[in-house]
Amino acid sequence: MNTITSETQTARIQSLKVSDEELVVDLVDGRTLAVPVGWFPRLAHATPKERAAWRLIGQGHGVHWAELDEDISVDNLLAGKQSGESQRSFKRWLEGRAKRRRKG
């Protein structure tokens, strides 16, 4: 069955918004996906300014937040996949973030 493959190959991001509660992605085909921002801990801990600093990657098949070192693909959103980052990795990221803020 090629339905899923076809769906993910054509799904591309047109725009997105991130609030304290959810990540909302508008696709070029008219669909809108909304997932809890808590699925992506780096986004959940980001400031509104950091959340707004995104760019499309892979011709709209994903989105990247440089300051947060976070990438999310349309394929994973369609599949309902949360961040796969380990707690250990996330803890290191939080500690590095705290150090950078103290210096800045």
Long-range contacts of 41-50 (CB under 8 A, 24+ apart): 41/83, 41/85, 41/90, 42/68, 42/69, 42/70, 42/83, 42/85, 42/90, 42/93, 43/18, 43/68, 43/70, 45/94, 45/97, 46/18
pTM attached to this predicted model: 0.85
Map out the domains of the chain with their CATH numbers: 3-103 (3.30.2020.40)
Could you read off the pLDDT tens digit of each residue along the chain, which spans 104 residues? 555 554 555 799 999 999 999 999 999 999 999 999 999 999 999 999 999 999 999 999 999 999 999 999 999 999 999 999 999 999 999 999 888 888 86
